[in-house]
Amino acid sequence: MSNIVKVSEKIENFKKSITVPGDKSLSIRWVLFASLANGTSKAKNLLMSEDVLAALNAVKKLGIKVIINVKECRIFGKGINGYKYKKKLTINAHNSGTLGRLILGLLTNTPYPINLVGDKSLSKRDFRRVTKPLSKFGARFKLTKNNFLPLKIFGSSELKPIKYYENKGSAQCKSSIIFAGMRSNGTTIIKAKKSRNHTELLCKYLRLPISIKNHKNFDEIKINKVKTIKSLNYDIPSDISSSAFFIVLTALSTNSELIIKNVNINPSRTGIITILKKMGVKIFFINPKVYKGEKKADIKVISAKNLKALNCPPHLNSGAIDEFLVIFLVAAKAKGVSYFKDLGELNQKESPRLKWAEKILKKLGVRTITTNNSIKIFGNPNLNLVSDKKIIIKNYLKDHRVFMTSLIAALSFGGKWIIHDKDSINTSFPNFLKIIDNLKKK
Ligand code: S3P
């Protein structure tokens, strides 16, 4: 089947309600916590994407039974020390930075060395950010000379608690340290720049020995050795990062309205909502609820009329870190110059995303000034491509968010687009194109 999608028509005038798949961060975390629990955990609406399947395969390799059927996924945990470590074990995280980095925290007590490998994109991403703190616990690592995968972890049976300042605002690092802290004798103390807090909320919900103090610019987390984890049934809410593409599509289209059902709106993930509201988009949370320590709601969006440029305050960055590519499309149509700074972490994602933003915006005819950690976007409220303007996107590291952002640009601004690497969406949002087709139906 062709791996290319062609788009030559804008999408307008839709009034629909959609559901996007389960949240990726919560799905991967559920798999890992359930794999350490005592007894059977069940999840409904677990994201069935390549990243989550990689997580399920990883725990299977560690001797944990997993059953997946249409209605639910079941994991048969054997307790916090229930992994069966074998000689010559290789875990493949494929494209998933979250899986690769989080699972290392749990493998810090392995009696045999374990290999961690990933795909081409993951093998270009920094792992030193986790191997550095995990080494302080007493684990050892062998990485490539660039600090990339493949790596080998040598565990320790006597992990020492650590004090660590996580200064990148990376939830993956913070979570990996929390996991190693759960296996160490004593209290691990993490001072962490703000980032998504699903791991901490799950620890709290499971009544694990964790304490969290929220300060203005950082959180202080203390975690003690965990003896048991009770099984965890979870109905996973939809992913705000997947919703983001449809929020932007609706905002940019004419005369449209969309409701996205049952979305996780954890405040550490809603940066996109704050940013787009500041730019003049009308977005509402309907029927908000708290579920197992996490917030969720339906999200309603309405086509925007007069978009305003934004000098984006950097404290909003971590809550929107996966959404910037698509947020930049809104800036492209806003009146004035938008400025997004302190975003060096964007170049640490599945592909160097600031560079991709510059490329896509250039193809749209939008002027940018890009550095290695910032972008200025000179918006054009009349942005509209002539129908025979040909644009080709070839996404060599197969970054799912580059593919989906390009498709939203095509549907919002017109032109004749040929977008390669459709398969990249399988990592996070396999039915993305089906939902787009559904919006097109009258
Ligand atoms: C994630 C954290 C973020 C995010 C990624 C998912 C997580 O990465 O970009 O898609 O689930 O913890 P960083 O922790 O590197 O910022």
Same domain, 11 and 29: no
Cα gap 319→336, rounded to integer Å:
24
Same domain for 175 and 190, yes or no, is yes
Does 12 map to a domain? yes
DSSP reduced 3-state for 376: strand
- The SS3 of residue 285 is strand
Residue nearest to atom 15 of ligand 1 (CA): 170
- Which protein residue's CA is at the shortest distance from atom 4 of ligand 1? 322
User: Do residues 43 and 182 share a domain?
Assistant: yes
**What's the whole-number mean pLDDT along residues 150-155?**
98
Domain assignment of residue 177, yes or no: yes
Distance (Å, whole) CA 175 – CA 336: 39
Furthest-apart CA atoms within the chain: distance in Å: 65
Give yes or no: residues 172 and 185 share one domain: yes
Atom of ligand 1 nearest to the CA of 170: 14
Structural domain tally of the chain?
Answer: 2
Render pLDDT for 298-308 as a digit per residue (tens, 0 to 9): 999 999 999 99
In a domain, 232, yes or no: no
pLDDT band at 353 (very low <50, low <70, confident <90, very high): very high
Q: Is the CB of 256 under 6 A from ligand 1?
A: no
* Mean pLDDT confidence for 125-130: 97
- Residue in this structure with the two tokens 């404290």, named with its chain if needed: 315
Structural domain ending residue among the three candidates 227, 262, 289: 227
Query: Which strand ranges, in their side-by-side order, compose the sheet holding 163-166?
Result: 163-166, 188-193, 218-223, 210-214
Q: How is residue 415 annotated by DSSP?
A: S
Is the sign of the CA dihedral 296, 297, 303, 305 positive or negative?
negative
Where do runs of H (alpha helix) occur along 37-158? Answer: 50-61, 97-106, 128-137
Q: Known catalytic residue: 322?
A: yes
**Where in 249-291 does DSSP place strands (E)?**
257-264, 282-291
Question: Domain range for residue 110?
Answer: 24-227
pLDDT bin (cut points 50, 70, 90) of residue 243 is very high
* Ligand 1 atom closest to residue 168's alpha carbon, by position in its atom list: 16
CB 278 within 8 A of CB 310: yes
For residue 435, give the CATH number of its domain. 3.65.10.10
CA distances from 279 to 24, 229, 306, 309, 322 (A): 27, 44, 9, 6, 18
Q: What is the predicted pLDDT for the residue at 442? A: 78
Whether 49 and 149 map to the same domain: the answer is: yes
Indicate whether 278 pLDDT > 90: yes
- 255 and 199, same domain (yes or no): no
Confirm if 112 and 87 have CB atoms less than 8 A apart.
yes
pLDDT for residue 90 is more than 80:
yes
In a domain, 379, yes or no: yes
> What is the predicted pLDDT for the residue at 247?
99
pTM: 0.98
Is residue 125 domain-shared with residue 221, that is, in the same domain? Answer: yes
30 lies in the same domain as 63: yes
- Given 195, 227, 259, the domain boundary residue is 227
Looking at residue 372, its pLDDT comes to 97
- pLDDT of 1 > 90? The answer is no
Q: Are residues 137 and 60 in the same domain?
A: yes
Ligand 1 atom index nearest CA of 348: 15
Point out the catalytic residue in the list 51, 119, 298, 322: 322
CA separation, residue 245 to residues 20, 62, 198, 238 (Å): 10, 35, 22, 13
Of 197, 227, 257, the last residue of a domain is: 227
Q: What confidence category does residue 332 fall into, taking pLDDT thresholds of 50, 70 and 90?
A: very high
For residues 355 and 415, membership in a common domain is answered with: yes
* Residue 249 resides in a domain: yes
Q: How far does the centroid of ligand 1 lie from the alpha carbon of residue 340, in Å?
A: 19
pLDDT surpasses 80 at 41:
yes
The reported pLDDT for the residue numbered 379 is 98
Distances (CA, A) of 211 to 29, 96, 152, 204, 335: 19, 28, 31, 8, 45
- Answer whether residue 57 is part of any domain: yes
DSSP label of 314:
G
Ligand 1 centroid–CA 196 distance in Å is: 8
Residues in the chain: 442
| Residue 253 located in a structural domain | yes
Establish whether residue 171 lines the binding site of ligand 1, counting it when its CB lies within 6 angstroms of any ligand atom: yes
- CA–centroid distance, residue 29 to ligand 1 (Å): 12
Both 109 and 156 in one domain: the answer is yes
Ligand 1 center–CA 28 separation, angstroms? 11
62-76: per-residue pLDDT in tens?
999 999 999 999 999
pLDDT tens digits, 379-437:
999 999 999 999 999 988 999 999 999 999 999 999 999 999 999 999 999 999 999 99
pLDDT at position 343 over 80 = yes
The owner of tokens 């609706």 is: 250
**Coil, strand or helix: which one is 50?**
helix
Model pLDDT, residue 396: 85
Ligand 1 contacts CB of residue 197 (under 6 A): no
In a domain, 65, yes or no: yes
Residues pairing with 41 in the sheet: 75
Same domain, 169 and 267: no
